[in-house]
Structure 1
Amino acid sequence: MAEKFPRDRFDEIPDDLQRVGAHRAPRRRGRGWIAVGWAALATVLLVGAGIFGLSLVNGSIDFHGPSGTGSRTASTTPTATPTPTIVPTVNPSLNVNVLNGTAKEGLAASVGEKLKAAGWKVGALANADKTDLAATIVYYGDPANQAAALGVAQSLPGATIQQSTAFSDTGADITVVIGANYPG
């Protein structure tokens, strides 16, 4: 049963006080938007500083101005850059695998012997998964081995080179797939 106490001065709250609870006054309207505004301003400043910093690091912004001291009156035409010529090389440190893509027996072994005589380190000799390939192709995975692939192709009449990562899991630097156009 609830016990009744006599009424005292704390039971009567003035109408103009508008307090919630024992010690809190009501919040002013619109007070939460101030924090949102400061957070948005800080975000914009940080993103702008980040973009400016990245532009400086990447070299997109140049504080030095134009290098010429006089005014430019004549337009300059761009000069053509020469295309580098790749010279075929023999690199005996590279592994060369030979795959026979024809129905002719022993062709991979004879091509392997020919490459060994030319100074190449020959790895695996095997049959390709197809026996009806028309062209002899020298595959290389790393662009740095393009000159070496040209050197292998130069040792094999009718061979062409092609960059491909299809044979990268074999461990060979260069893979030769012999086709029907090989005269051997």
Structure 2
Amino acid sequence: MPTTYPRDRFDDVPRQSARVGAHRAEQPRAPRRVVLLWAALATVLLTIAGILAFLVLSQRVDIVPGQQSPVPQSTVSPIFDPTYTVLVLNGTGSQGVAEEVAAELVAAGWSDDMVLPSESSATDFPATTVYYASPEEEAVALGIAQAIGGARVALSDQYQSPPDPALKEITVVAGLDRVSAG
């Protein structure tokens, strides 16, 4: 057998091989902006998912609505205390509404000098409301609301008691519900 063969094109092998023949072409590179956009989007979504998971697991957020525990209602019994001065403001445009409410309080047991009817700057107050300044006065406010035939009761620092602690005052604002009722 011959040990030498004639030279052909396959005998010339370059030092650095450049591929010749069937092989896979390079994948085109994605633009850097697209890659950064996807990375930022994934970061934001994973951060939001982590925060929500933390809030649910720490029981700060309830994912099932309607299973909230009811807020306990305070059951304060109304107290009749005629030692309180009652300022009655007319929150309607009609004349004499404050005097009517004051007359109901006098009929319930307050003395004339402890009930002070007056006009209010508001003429469109919707519902008669008894305002008290501190939580300790809630029972007295409920008693006043009961004495005038029912009214809303609200804690408000807008109607503060006088600076002298011996003088105790609660404010009643007669609303439009008193005009239509009577």
TM-score w.r.t. length of structure 2: 0.52
* Structure 2 unaligned blocks of 5 or more: 1-71
1:94 & 1:180 partners in 2: Cα distance? 25
Q: Which residue of 2 aligns with 1:160?
A: 152
Say which of 159, 162, 170 aligns to 1:174: 170
Change (3 A) 1:99 1:83: closer
**SS of the counterpart of 1:130?**
coil
Change (3 A) 1:105 1:169: same
Residue 100 of structure 2 is aligned to residue 110 of structure 1:
yes
Identity over aligned pairs, percent:
40
1:103 & 1:125 partners in 2: Cα distance? 15
Residue 143 of structure 2 is aligned to residue 147 of structure 1:
no
Equivalent residue letter for 2:116: A
**SS of the counterpart of 1:152?**
helix
**SS of the counterpart of 1:138?**
strand
Equivalent residue letter for 2:158: A
Residue 90 of structure 2 is aligned to residue 94 of structure 1:
no
* Structure 1 unaligned blocks of 5 or more: 1-81
The answer as to whether partners of 2:128 and 2:174 remain within 8 angstroms in 1 is: yes
* Alignment deviations for residues 25-58 of structure 1 (CA, whole Å, 9 cap, x no partner): xxxxxxxxxxxxxxxxxxxxxxxxxxxxxxxxxx
1:172 & 1:129 partners in 2: Cα distance? 23
What displacement does 1:156 show?
2.5
The answer as to whether partners of 2:161 and 2:170 remain within 8 angstroms in 1 is: no
The answer as to whether partners of 1:142 and 1:173 remain within 8 angstroms in 2 is: no
Q: Which residue of 2 aligns with 1:58?
A: none
**SS of the counterpart of 1:181?**
helix
1:120 & 1:148 partners in 2: Cα distance? 13
TM-score w.r.t. length of structure 1: 0.51
Change (3 A) 1:169 1:148: closer
Q: Which residue of 1 aligns with 2:62?
A: none
Equivalent residue letter for 2:75: T
Say which of 118, 122, 126 aligns to 2:118: 126
**SS of the counterpart of 2:117?**
strand
**SS of the counterpart of 1:87?**
coil
What displacement does 1:155 show?
2.0
2:73 & 2:153 partners in 1: Cα distance? 18
How many pairs does the alignment contain?
104
What displacement does 1:172 show?
5.5
